[in-house]
Amino acid sequence: MRKNIVALPFTLAAMLLVLLFLSLQPAAAQADPIAGAVEYLSAQQQPDGGITGFSGTSDPDTTARAVLGLSVNGEPLRSMVPSTGLTMLNYLESQAISYTHDLTGTLFPGRAGLYLAAVSAAGGSGSNFGGMDLVSELEATFHWNSGVYSTTASGGFSSGAASDLSQAWAVLGLSLAGQPVPAQAAGYLLTSQADDGSWGFGDPDTTALALTALLISKHVPQDDPALRDALIFFHRTQQANGGWRPSWDTDPLNADSTGWVLQALYSSGEDLSTWAGTEGDAVSSLRGLQQEDGRIGGTYANTYSTAEALLGLGGRSLIALAQPWQPNRAGLVVLFDEATVRTACIRFSEDSLSGYGLLTRSGLVVNSLTDPSLGSAVCGIENTGCPVSDCFCGMPEYWSYWQPGPTGWAYAAAGSAQTVVVNGSVEAWSWGEGLAPPLYSFQDICRYGDAPVSVDGAAATATPDLPPATDTAEPAPSATSAPAQPTATIAGPLTVGDKSSGTLLLFFGVLLLGLGLGTMLLRKRKSR
């Protein structure tokens, strides 16, 4: 009997440790806030691939923000697929035209910018998405005299009118797509910055978005006064717990605001160890907002707040997701018959392309034949022409290759594989018996905004210059690399709701309880 009494404290301690281990399993699953957020968003994904919004049904706005948050954390979208096999990008494609346009077909520049940012961050093409060219349509809304992307679009609570928020999304979307934006576009945001360093009437979310967009656009260097003033605004509005909130929010911090401000700090190259509040740091406080099901937020935690919180948890700037810089553009004209002509503005990052390379990058289906002695011949384009097996089956009709001459189009002096296409070039192809295609200028095809264009074949007013191709973006990580983490070790007091901190306290508490019970039993035995 005495041996059993001696073994009792150790048996009791072992049982307590087993119970402790079992009780810690749910908390351990949430120790990684990003994994918890992904699990929560996956649970909210609908059969069409979309993420639910405030209405409880798939919502393009929330889905686009979720794509941004997941992408910046290196989470592949194909890992979140419902039983239908449709991804979030599939859903965004299905809603592209209806979400970015009003009932009259007029584009909302801000919505288009958000869509373009999400598609580009996920590695998609904004020039051919959901049956529309997001890049060209967004560029067409630019006004050179004012520097704004704006339209007359209107519907619900959305408007195409100029605003800090709409402009920031337009600049961010084009920049992430690798497209240069005019200096006037950045100038509009710079002149609309308030004296206190904010945008959007003191809104931290809009301020962070505008600053991030300017930094990615390459128009704002690290020593720019606008960056300095915005950082001062963030310092002044930071809460004691390290986070941020809009003026209307009564919660200790706001997940959306904190996520966006952290993203702006990452993009600014700030050392987060210098941003700790008196009662905590922003990342730990943001982690502390995560609930048991993985959602992140305060009073109104939902898919929207979780998606935007992800922007601040990964420690990586959206700059890392920007697509290759494409400062060069060339025009292409393809005449299929006297009534059917198609034009395309092709963008490229190289100093030059061949004429054949320009054609193949247009997205048109091209059948070609390469002969070592004769070079490359274009047999068919789309459904017009001949198969490769009989490239000149239509003679005397064939695909002829044209370039601008002194008085209009002229037969190209060299084959399309040997010609050099540079920024501002225009090339043409025509099916028939040497029929010259309609005359288009570069500005007719690669129009940017409201710059005057030709209507009668005469030379058009030149499109104002776009910014030079000075690449200052961070290199994009490989597909297999893990998301970068903040370089600074963020120290601060334990935050209520931080699961890793709570787990540690619980472990020591139970361990001390077990030791205390064991000591009491041993003393009782000795007293006998």
Which residues, 6+ apart, have CB-to-CB distance to 38 below 8 Å? 70, 75, 79, 80, 294
pLDDT tier at 487, thresholds 50, 70, 90: very low
pLDDT tier at 513, thresholds 50, 70, 90: low
Residue type present at position 368: S
pLDDT tier at 31, thresholds 50, 70, 90: confident
Per-residue buried b or exposed e for 425-444, using 16+ beta carbons within 10 Å of the residue's own CB: bbbbbbbbeeeebebbbbbb
- Region 478-505 average pLDDT: 36
- Residue 475 has a pLDDT of 32
- Residue 517 has a pLDDT of 55
Residue 266 pLDDT greater than 70, yes or no? yes
**Comparing 163-172, 290-299, 518-527, which segment has the lowest mean pLDDT?**
518-527
pLDDT tier at 23, thresholds 50, 70, 90: very low
- Region 377-382 average pLDDT: 95
- Residue 458 has a pLDDT of 37
pLDDT, greater one: 469 or 161 = 161
Q: How far apart are alpha carbons 448 and 431 in whole angstroms? A: 29
Which residues, 6+ apart, have CB-to-CB distance to 458 below 8 Å? none
- Residue 376 has a pLDDT of 79
- Residue 511 has a pLDDT of 52
Residue 514 pLDDT greater than 90, yes or no? no
pLDDT, greater one: 515 or 261 = 261
- Residue 371 has a pLDDT of 72
Q: How far apart are alpha carbons 72 and 506 in whole angstroms? A: 33
Kindly give the residue spans of alpha helices, DSSP state H, lying in 354-429: 355-360
Could you read off the pLDDT of 284-332 as tens digits, one per residue? Answer: 999 999 999 999 999 999 999 999 999 999 899 999 999 999 999 999 9
- Residue 79 has a pLDDT of 87
What are the structural domain ranges in the chain?
A: 2-27+499-527, 31-316, 328-445
pLDDT tier at 370, thresholds 50, 70, 90: confident
Phi, psi of 32 (to 5 degrees): -100, 105
Tokens encoding 339: 């009534």
Residue 519 pLDDT greater than 60, yes or no? no
Q: How far apart are alpha carbons 51 and 112 in whole angstroms? A: 18
CA-based nearest residue to 423, from 465, 361, 475? 465
Which residues, 6+ apart, have CB-to-CB distance to 513 below 8 Å? 16
Q: How far apart are alpha carbons 186 and 172 in whole angstroms? A: 10
CA of residue 335 relative to chain centroid, distance = 36
Q: Is the peptide bond before 396 cis (omega within 30 degrees of 0)?
A: yes
Query: Which CATH fold topology does 328-445 show?
Result: Ferric Hydroxamate Uptake Protein; Chain A, domain 1 (2.170.130)
Is residue 467 within 8 A of residue 219, CB to CB? The reply is yes
CA-based nearest residue to 484, from 207, 297, 272? 272
Residue 170 pLDDT greater than 80, yes or no? yes
Could you read off the pLDDT of 66-85 as tens digits, one per residue? Answer: 999 999 999 999 889 999 99
328-445 shares the fold of 31-316: no
**Comparing 84-93, 184-193, 286-295, 499-508, which segment has the lowest mean pLDDT?**
499-508
- Region 51-59 average pLDDT: 96
CATH of 31-316, one of 3.40.50.1820, 3.40.640.10, 1.50.10.20, 3.30.390.10: 1.50.10.20
Is residue 426 within 8 A of residue 353, CB to CB? The reply is no
User: Sheet of 375-381: strands edge to edge?
Assistant: 366-371, 375-381, 384-385
- Residue 464 has a pLDDT of 53
- Region 487-507 average pLDDT: 38
